[in-house]
Amino acid sequence: MRKLGIAFVVMLVAVMWPAQAHAVDGWRLVGSDNARPLDEGQGLATVTRGGTTQYRYTGSATVPFDLLVQGWNHVGDPGAAQGWYVEPYQRDDRGAKLFRVQSPTGAWSNYKHALESWEASNNSWSAVSPDARWMVNGEWGTMDRLLVFPMPGVGATNPAQNLPLASKINLDRQVRDVQGCDFVTATRLLCASDDPAGTLFGTTKPLLQVDLTGPVGSADVTGHVTSLGQLPLKSGCTGNFEVEGIDYFEPDGTLRVIVLSPSVCITTDSKTYRFQR
- Which pLDDT score, from 0 to 100, does residue 23 have? 73
Domain formed by 22-276, architecture: 6 Propeller (2.120)
The 10s digit of each residue's pLDDT in 228-245 is 999 999 999 999 999 999
Query: What Rg do the C-alpha atoms of the chain give, in angstroms?
Result: 19
The yes-or-no verdict on residue 2 having pLDDT over 50 is no
CA dihedral 202, 203, 205, 208 (to 10 degrees): -50
pTM of the model: 0.92
- Which pLDDT score, from 0 to 100, does residue 22 have? 64
The yes-or-no verdict on residue 94 having pLDDT over 90 is no
DSSP strands (E only) in 205-270: 206-212, 221-230, 242-249, 254-260
Domain ranges, ordered by start, for the chain: 22-276
The 10s digit of each residue's pLDDT in 134-155 is 999 999 999 999 999 999 999 9
The 10s digit of each residue's pLDDT in 174-186 is 999 999 999 999 9
d(CA 59, CA 258): 11
Mean pLDDT for all residues in the chain: 93
DSSP string, 155-214: TB--TTS-----EEEEEEEEEE-EEEEEEEETTEEEEEE--SS-TTTSSSSEEEEEEESS
**Mean pLDDT value across residues 250-272:** 98
**Mean pLDDT value across residues 106-127:** 97
